C-alpha cells in the first residue's frame, strides 16, 4: 500500500458481544472457551493486513467452528471490543509490538479488528528496516511492529554474528511509544539451520552455545534492567505477551500418539490444560516479578494452550504443518480483547 492510499473496505458487520463491566479482582486469564454465534469479530477475507502464513481461510481451511469461540473469564465479562473507542482513546498515540512472528500475529489481528470497526478509514503505511507502521489517519493512531527476535542485540564481529545477552541497543525507538507490547521466546530454541547467530556473549565471555533457558532468562533480565532504568512509565504503558504455546505432542491434550494440530477442530474443554504450563512461562514470571516498573503480563499461555484447533496446520501460504502460529481471524483476536480490557481499565 502506498502512503495515503485509501483502503476500501466493504461494509463489515462487526457484531461484538460481551458486557462492559468494571469488576475488579477478577483474573480475566482464568476462564474457558464458549461457542458464540456472533463470532468471529470480522471477516478475514476483508482484512487487507493478513500475511499468507496466517490467512487460513484463503488457503483452504475447510472448518469454521474455530472462529466461533469467545474467551469467557470465569468471574467477570470482558469489555466489548470497540475499535472506534480504541482509536479515540489513542488519538495521536503510537502502539508498538516488539518481538517475533507471534508479535506479528497479534499486530495483524489488531489491525484487522480496527479496520473492521472503521472500514473506510484512510490507513497510511510507513516502514523502514526497523519497523512497520499503519496509521489510521482520522485519529492519528499508529499501530506498529518492530520485528526483534531476542530483544537483546546480535552484532556482526570478526568471528561471526554474536548474540549479546547483556546488550540492548534498540530501546531508543521503543521509548518513544505510548504503548509497548513485548514478546520473545520462539527463537531461543532455534538451532542450525536458521539460527541467526554464531556465538553467545555474556559479559566478556563468548561461548559457542549454552543452556537456552538460561540464555533466555539472562536476556530477559537485560530487558528488565532497561525497563527500570530507561522507560518513563508515566508516558509509556508496558505489556509483555505471555509464552505462546505450540501443539506438536498430543500427550499434552490427552490424545496419545497425535503429533501435530493438523486434525484439531475443537478447543480443549474447560479451564485447565493437561500438559501444564511450559517451563519458559515460569522463567518469564520470575523475571517480571523482579521489575519495579509496572509491566502487565497478557497471560495468554493457558488460554492459548486450550486452542489446539486455532493454528494454521497446513492451511497457510507455507503449506507446511504449522502448529506454532495462529490463524487470523482467530485466537489472536482474544489476545487483543484482553489487551483492550487491560488498556481501558
Ligand X SMILES: *[C@@H]1O[C@H](CO)[C@@H](O)[C@H](O)[C@H]1NC(C)=O
Active site residue 82: no
Q: Which is nearer to ligand X, 66 or 201 (CB)?
A: 66
Site string for ligand X, 141-180 (x = CB under 6 A): --------------------------------x-------
Residues 263-282 that bind ligand X (CB under 6 A): 263
Instruction: Kindly name the residue from 36, 82, 101, 296 that is annotated as catalytic.
Output: 101
Give the residue with the Cβ less far from ligand X, 99 or 313.
313
The only residue of 101, 122, 170, 285 in contact with ligand X, by rule CB under 6 A? 285
Least Å from the CB of residue 206 to ligand X: 27
Of residues 185-214, which lie at the interface with ligand X (CB under 6 A)?
none
Give the residue with the Cβ less far from ligand X, 152 or 177: 177
Answer for which of 26, 30, 202, 213 binds ligand X (CB under 6 A) is 30
Report, in Å, the least distance between residue 271 CB and ligand X. Answer: 7
Tell me how far, at minimum, the Cβ of 116 lies from ligand X, in Å: 11
For ligand X, the closer CB: 88 or 259: 259
Could you give phi then psi for residue 180, rounded to 5 degrees?
A: -125, 130
The smaller minimum CB distance to ligand X, of residues 171 and 262, is found at: 262
Q: For 309-332, give one letter per residue: b (16+ CB within 10 A) or e.
A: bbbbbbbbeeeebbbbbbbbbbbb
Binding segment (CB under 6 A) for ligand X, from list 41-49, 73-81, 160-168, 228-236? 41-49
Residue recorded with cell 516488539: 98
Site for ligand X in 108-137 (CB under 6 A): 128-131
CB of 123 or CB of 258, closer to ligand X: 258
In the set 55, 309, 322, 333, the catalytic residue is 322
Cβ distance to ligand X smaller for residue 133 or 202: 133
Residues 4-23 touching ligand X, rule: CB under 6 A, are 10
Cα separation values, 78 from 20, 74, 174, 217, 245, Å:
7, 10, 28, 32, 22
Which member of 109, 149, 325, 333 is catalytic? 325
Q: Does 262 bind ligand X (CB under 6 A)?
A: yes
Stretch that binds ligand X, among 140-148, 227-235, 298-306, 322-330 (CB under 6 A): 298-306
Grid cell for residue 205: 565471555
- The C-alpha cell of 299 is what? 497471560
Number of residues near ligand X (by CB under 6 A): 19
Spatial distance between the Cα atoms of 180 and 194, rounded to a whole number of angstroms: 27
Out of 19, 23, 45, 233, which residue is the one contacting ligand X (CB under 6 A)? 45
Nearest approach in angstroms of CB 10 to ligand X is 6
345 carries an active-site annotation: no
Per the annotation, the verdict on 325 as an active-site residue is yes
Contact indicator for 201, 164 with CB cutoff of 8 Å: yes
Distance CA 190, CA 84 (A): 39
Which residues bind to ligand X, rule: CB under 6 A? 10, 29-30, 43, 45-46, 128-131, 173, 260, 262-263, 285, 297, 299, 301-302
For the annotated catalytic residues, the residue numbers are 101, 322, 325
Amino acid at each position: 500500500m502506498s502512503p495515503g492510499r485509501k483502503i476500501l473496505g466493504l461494509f463489515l458487520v462487526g457484531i461484538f458481544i460481551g458486557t462492559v463491566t468494571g469488576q475488579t479482582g477478577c483474573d480475566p486469564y482464568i476462564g474457558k472457551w464458549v461457542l458464540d454465534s456472533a463470532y468471529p469479530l470480522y471477516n478475514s477475507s476483508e482484512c487487507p493486513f493478513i500475511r499468507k502464513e496466517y490467512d487460513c481461510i484463503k488457503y483452504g481451511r475447510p472448518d469454521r467452528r474455530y472462529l466461533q469461540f469467545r474467551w469467557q473469564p470465569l468471574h467477570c465479562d470482558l469489555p466489548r471490543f470497540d475499535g472506534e473507542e480504541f482509536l479515540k482513546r489513542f488519538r495521536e498515540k503510537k502502539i508498538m509490538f516488539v518481538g517475533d512472528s507471534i508479535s506479528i500475529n497479534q499486530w495483524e489481528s489488531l489491525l484487522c479488528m480496527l479496520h473492521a470497526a472503521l472500514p473506510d478509514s484512510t490507513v497510511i503505511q510507513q516502514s523502514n528496516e526497523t519497523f512497520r507502521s499503519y496509521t489510521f489517519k482520522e485519529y492519528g493512531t499508529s499501530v506498529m511492529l518492530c520485528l526483534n527476535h531476542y530483544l537483546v542485540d546480535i552484532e556482526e564481529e570478526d568471528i561471526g554474528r554474536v548474540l549479546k545477552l547483556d546488550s540492548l541497543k534498540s530501546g531508543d525507538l521503543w521509548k518513544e511509544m505510548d504503548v509497548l507490547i513485548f514478546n520473545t521466546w520462539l527463537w531461543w530454541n532455534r538451532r542450525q539451520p536458521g539460527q541467526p547467530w554464531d556465538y553467545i556473549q555474556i559479559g566478556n565471555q563468548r561461548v559457542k552455545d549454552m543452556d537456552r533457558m538460561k540464555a533466555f532468562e539472562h536476556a530477559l533480565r537485560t530487558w528488565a534492567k532497561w525497563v527500570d532504568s530507561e522507560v518513563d512509565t508515566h508516558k509509556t504503558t508496558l505489556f509483555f505477551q505471555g509464552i505462546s504455546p505450540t501443539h506438536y505432542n498430543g500427550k499434552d491434550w490427552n490424545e496419545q500418539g497425535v503429533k501435530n494440530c493438523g486434525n484439531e477442530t475443537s478447543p480443549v474443554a474447560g479451564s485447565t490444560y493437561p500438559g501444564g504450563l511450559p517451563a519458559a512461562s515460569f522463567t518469564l514470571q520470575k523475571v517480571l516479578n523482579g521489575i519495579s516498573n509496572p509491566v502487565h503480563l497478557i497471560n495468554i499461555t493457558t488460554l492459548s494452550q486450550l486452542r489446539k484447533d486455532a493454528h494454521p496446520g497446513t492451511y497457510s501460504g507455507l503449506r507446511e504443518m504449522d502448529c506454532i502460529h495462529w490463524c487470523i481471524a482467530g485466537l489472536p483476536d482474544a489476545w487483543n480483547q484482553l489487551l483492550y480490557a487491560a488498556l481501558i481499565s
